[in-house]
Structure 1
Amino acid sequence: MTALDRVAWIDLSSVTLPLAAPVSDAKVLTGRQRPMTEVVFLFAEIGTEGGHEGIGFGYSKRAGGPGQFAHAAEIAPVLIGEDPNDIGRLWTKLAWAGASAGRSGLAAQSIAAIDIALWDLKARRAGLPLAKLLDAHRDSVRCYDTSGGFLHAPLEEVLENAEASAAAGIGGVKIKVGHPDHAEDMRRVTAVRERLGDAFPLMVDANQQWDRPAALRMGRALEDFGLTWIEEPLDAYDAEGHAALAAALDTPIATGEMLTSVAEYCELIDRRAADVIQPDAPRIGGITNFLKLATLADHRHLGLAPHFAMQIHLHLAAAYPGEPWVEHFDWLDPLFEERLTIRDGRMDVPARPGLGITLTGRARAWTTQRARIGARP
């Protein structure tokens, strides 16, 4: 096989992004997790003998960052000397290099940053935004904001944040529910709906904290609010429960962000357990696996709303045949020099080649671990 180019070097870095304030959702209020104060990112930068470069990233919340970095550093050397064009084959090679750790979970997340960097490299070399390389169906994607609707925030702050999002041109707002006091959930949803009006897209997210009876009761109580979806009403792996709920309610059910392989999605899709799937490329193994899943989802005519990491998911959503959503989070802004343009409820796909991202000096300063594989000029 004749190589068009060869991987010469790979730089891995673990970057700890501090959050402005501790963040709590329903998992914190039920005592299952502590408030989130930081997000740990795994960045992969790849360069070739021909002088081409690409960057990709994954992340972890509360735990897993050191493990992702260690696993990536262990398997990345198998790419040195390989043709970076052969991304699918290289994904498989990386998976077999770390086969003892499996092909999902932390192992898949470690591969994801490298896989995304390879796709970024390919698009940059072609001089195209990644969305265009993937056969974009649109130049902008509907977007909704999650940053301002967490349960640690007092209701008045949530209302102010929702109004600010709408005023900034963001097309929808999602707020967190799953409070141990169901009446508090209803109070917050009622207030936000009244503030935004009946026509504005509104989503809620229970972060897996309802059991089946509670999810059905709350789902029925929320039917009159005209929600765009109810997200993660049940445990992420309860496909049977999600299927029953989806069949019982008119409000669409969205889930999937916690799944870490295409195989895990198959039961969800086969059982018709979600109206909207929410894959996360850094969690399911990168863009290579995301594209496999997107094909399955399109075949079943499912809605698509990728989770988090809008700098990646904007491109992937733009390439989905059905009209998707992308999730706006301002948390990642300190990491990247560029900003994404939002107007009239949509996020524009940038014209810059690849993902169109450049790390800031602050991101470099927040680096806690580095590994260099191969020889960088």
Structure 2
Amino acid sequence: MNTDPIQHVEVSLCRVPLPQAVSDAKVSTGRQKPLTHVDLLLAEIETRHGEKGFGFSYSLRAGGHAMLAHAKDIAGELIGEDPDDIGRLWEKMAWLGASVARTGVTVQAIAAFDVALWDLKAKRAGKSIGKLLGAHRNDVPCYNTSGGYLSSSLDEVLRNVDRSLAHGLGGIKLKVGQPDLKLDIARVRAVREHVGEDVPMMADANQQWDFTTALRAGRQLDELGLVWLEEPLSAYDYAGHAMLSERLDTPIASGEMLSSLAECAELVRHRSVTFMQADAPRIGGITPFLKIATISDLARLKLAPHFVMEIHIHLGCAYPHEAWVEHIEWLEPAFNERLQIRNGRMMLPDRPGLGFTLSDEALTWREGLHRISS
């Protein structure tokens, strides 16, 4: 019998401003505008005995208010439920919005509740989420992305690289995918010469190449010893990524734009990637991410989840094989706590649950607050 059911559920939107606008190849090709902020969908779940779980999801550019609207639609269905029944509650929330899809906005709204439920479960156990899941290690290699955007000049990128390495980051990722391939190759080569052969480097084309361009780019990048080449093709071109994987020495990474277990399973089925880059908030939270981790493990894939290091540090440490976690500091102003980085590795927090609480500044950025109680 459940003696401590969910009694209160609260959702809101928090717009976190970036220090400066950033652009990747999608801006260079005219498909998007520069990114100026991150919208966080915040969820808090409280039980009858006053125990609380906190979670969040996010959107870049459009979509934040759509996530909030769907979260408001389904929040009331958690009232009276046993918060330990995380798998069943995920299915319940997914079926509520099944007529409008079990991908995209609907599952990204569910993700905030799902993370909050795992946060609560781990807090009850007095452990971090990573430890609750059965951590294989207490730290993972990490790499910086925020310093390598195309909106920064090469000189700025080199300064950012130096700062990242001095801060203890273990690797560097550069954005590529500009209309002029020669500029991309020259940029990556310049950074490789700057840092030397031993610093791990990655390149991310953000889906902006066709197969021929990706093959030509990949063959030139093969000479530079990259850890991976990310999203050279459309995220849904599973066969194309598989063909590139067969033809290039550089491993292929993809998965961040997918928003369901079924889509990520296609990457595994086609053997499209060496690095699975599933994003927990985008695919519906920790519950579906664990299923993706299982099929990735069975295929002996490596793991490099996209963005939200505050969540992915836990999932990276719980993966059977060593995983890379992406360092992007954009969300730090929203939280009171910081992740620790030493000698190229990010440390699993020893705080219970997710290990993060909202900053006073984040509370002033909130809008659309919606609270339901039994």
Same fold (TM over 0.5): yes
**Separation in structure 2 between the aligned mates of residue 251 and residue 276 of structure 1, nearest angstrom:** 11
Residue 148 of structure 2 aligns to a residue in which SS? coil
C-alpha deviation, 1:301, in angstroms: 0.4
Partner of 2:187: 188
**Separation in structure 1 between the aligned mates of residue 337 and residue 128 of structure 2, nearest angstrom:** 14
Partner of 1:305: 304
Amino acid at match of 1:250: D
**Separation in structure 1 between the aligned mates of residue 283 and residue 251 of structure 2, nearest angstrom:** 23
TM-score by structure 2 length?
0.99
Cα displacement string for residues 101-121 of structure 1 (whole angstroms, at most 9, x for unaligned residues): 211111110100000000000
Cα displacement string for residues 211-240 of structure 1 (whole angstroms, at most 9, x for unaligned residues): 000000000010010000000000000001
C-alpha deviation, 1:146, in angstroms: 0.4
Partner of 1:255: 254
**Separation in structure 2 between the aligned mates of residue 226 and residue 345 of structure 1, nearest angstrom:** 18
**Separation in structure 1 between the aligned mates of residue 339 and residue 3 of structure 2, nearest angstrom:** 33
Q: Percent identity?
A: 57
Contact 1:78/1:97 (<8 A) preserved:
no
Residue 162 of structure 1 aligns to a residue in which SS? helix
- The more displaced of 41-50 and 94-103 is 94-103
Residue 140 of structure 2 aligns to a residue in which SS? strand
**Separation in structure 2 between the aligned mates of residue 313 and residue 112 of structure 1, nearest angstrom:** 13
Partner of 1:201: 200
Residue 15 of structure 1 aligns to a residue in which SS? strand
Q: 1:4 to 1:137 in 2, by over 3 A?
A: farther
Residue 332 of structure 1 aligns to a residue in which SS? helix
TM-score by structure 1 length?
0.98
Partner of 2:8: 9
| Residue 87 (1) aligns with residue 80 (2) | no
Partner of 2:175: 176
Partner of 2:330: 331
Cα displacement string for residues 37-67 of structure 1 (whole angstroms, at most 9, x for unaligned residues): 1111100011001221110000001110000
**Separation in structure 2 between the aligned mates of residue 4 and residue 127 of structure 1, nearest angstrom:** 19
Residue 134 of structure 2 aligns to a residue in which SS? coil
C-alpha deviation, 1:5, in angstroms: 2.1
C-alpha deviation, 1:19, in angstroms: 1.0
**Separation in structure 2 between the aligned mates of residue 106 and residue 160 of structure 1, nearest angstrom:** 37
Partner of 1:314: 313
Amino acid at match of 1:231: E
Partner of 1:77: 76
Residue 291 of structure 1 aligns to a residue in which SS? helix
Amino acid at match of 2:354: L
Cα displacement string for residues 219-276 of structure 1 (whole angstroms, at most 9, x for unaligned residues): 0010010000000000000001000000101100000000000001111110100000
**Separation in structure 1 between the aligned mates of residue 20 and residue 224 of structure 2, nearest angstrom:** 30
**Separation in structure 1 between the aligned mates of residue 18 and residue 344 of structure 2, nearest angstrom:** 26
Partner of 2:241: 242
Cα displacement string for residues 257-302 of structure 1 (whole angstroms, at most 9, x for unaligned residues): 0000000111111010000010100000000000000000000000
Partner of 2:366: 367
**Separation in structure 2 between the aligned mates of residue 225 and residue 291 of structure 1, nearest angstrom:** 33
Partner of 2:144: 145
Where in structure 1 do 4 or more consecutive aligned residues deviate above 2 Å? none
Residue 372 of structure 1 aligns to a residue in which SS? strand
**Separation in structure 2 between the aligned mates of residue 289 and residue 230 of structure 1, nearest angstrom:** 25
C-alpha deviation, 1:4, in angstroms: 4.5
**Separation in structure 1 between the aligned mates of residue 213 and residue 20 of structure 2, nearest angstrom:** 30
Runs of 5+ unmatched residues, structure 1:
none
Q: When the two structures are aligned, how many residues end up with a matched partner?
A: 374
Residue 368 of structure 1 aligns to a residue in which SS? strand
**Separation in structure 1 between the aligned mates of residue 62 and residue 55 of structure 2, nearest angstrom:** 20
**Separation in structure 2 between the aligned mates of residue 313 and residue 22 of structure 1, nearest angstrom:** 24
**Separation in structure 1 between the aligned mates of residue 314 and residue 45 of structure 2, nearest angstrom:** 20
**Separation in structure 2 between the aligned mates of residue 369 and residue 173 of structure 1, nearest angstrom:** 37
Partner of 2:63: 64
Contact 1:230/1:251 (<8 A) preserved:
yes
Aligned-pair RMSD on alpha carbons?
Answer: 0.7
Matches within 5 A, 1:207-218: 207-218=206-217
Contact 1:223/1:250 (<8 A) preserved:
yes
Contact 1:22/1:35 (<8 A) preserved:
yes
Partner of 1:114: 113
**Separation in structure 1 between the aligned mates of residue 157 and residue 368 of structure 2, nearest angstrom:** 36
Residue 148 of structure 1 aligns to a residue in which SS? helix
- The more displaced of 267-276 and 98-107 is 98-107
Residue 117 of structure 2 aligns to a residue in which SS? helix
Runs of 5+ unmatched residues, structure 2:
none
Partner of 2:228: 229
**Separation in structure 2 between the aligned mates of residue 339 and residue 309 of structure 1, nearest angstrom:** 13
C-alpha deviation, 1:18, in angstroms: 1.0
Partner of 1:19: 18
Partner of 1:266: 265
